[in-house]
Amino acid sequence: MFHKEGHKIIFAALVIVVAAFLLIDELIEMRWLQLILQLTFLVLFILILQFFRNPKRHTQLNDNHALAPVDGKVVVIEEVEENEYFKDKRIQVSVFMSPLNVHVTRYPVGGRIAFNKYHPGKYLVAWHPKASEENERTTVVVDNETFGLVLYRQIAGALAKRIVNYAEEEQNIVQGEDSGFIKFGSRVDIFLPLDSQVKVDLNQRVRGGETVIAERK
């Protein structure tokens, strides 16, 4: 199953691959070179399919849990000053996505969208300390019954040139549902109340919509 954000790109890539195979057969006589070029185009097409895959996730709905918003590796767990919306201290957990990860963004908690804003910006590498404040990004705040206000931020990286965000203010959303997509690698930050109990470790691999990031009771 592939994400809807990839349908046009996958179709265009398929057309290019088929055309490339035909041209290689027509213009190149050396069989070994034909095979190398055709294999190269085929591998690139498989990588595009891999990037836009959208596997079904089995989300266990629980207002006491904040779930990973994306697949990837936990690269930040720290207490920080969140200056855009809360203007106070929060626990930040950041998940970095490589180009090989599933890039669907999912709502970490359920509730009502209280805030939603897009910020144009730079394209620093996603693990840069300033990426959360200076890169192109979207900020979404969800008002949840247990956690209160939870902020998550999609952040573009050096390769990611388009962030897709489906959240709309005052919208009621369900934990684990599709909230957007980041094309070609980046990260997502989630900001939680200080009394949240973090359930992941640095460098741990997480699955969006399934792995419990934090708990609050």
Task: Identify whether the C-beta of residue 195 lies closer than 8 Å to the C-beta of residue 64.
Answer: no
Task: Identify whether the C-beta of residue 78 lies closer than 8 Å to the C-beta of residue 191.
Answer: no
Task: Identify whether the C-beta of residue 193 lies closer than 8 Å to the C-beta of residue 213.
Answer: no
Residues 94, 132, 186, 196: which is the catalytic one? 186
16 phi, psi to nearest 5 deg = -65, -45
Answer left, alpha or beta for residue 111, where phi above 0 means left and psi between -120 and 50 means alpha: left
Tell me whether residue 116 is exposed, middle or buried, using C-beta atoms within 10 angstroms of its C-beta: 0 to 12, 13 to 18, 19 or more: middle
Instruction: Determine which helix (DSSP H) or strand (DSSP E) holds 10, and give its type and residue range.
Output: helix 7-27
Cα–Cα distance measured from residue 152 to residue 162, given in angstroms and rounded to the nearest whole number: 17
DSSP state of 126: T
Question: Which residue bears the tokens 């979404």?
Answer: 140
Cα–Cα distance measured from residue 92 to residue 156, given in angstroms and rounded to the nearest whole number: 17
The yes-or-no answer on residue 179 being catalytic is: no
Q: Which residues are catalytic?
A: 186
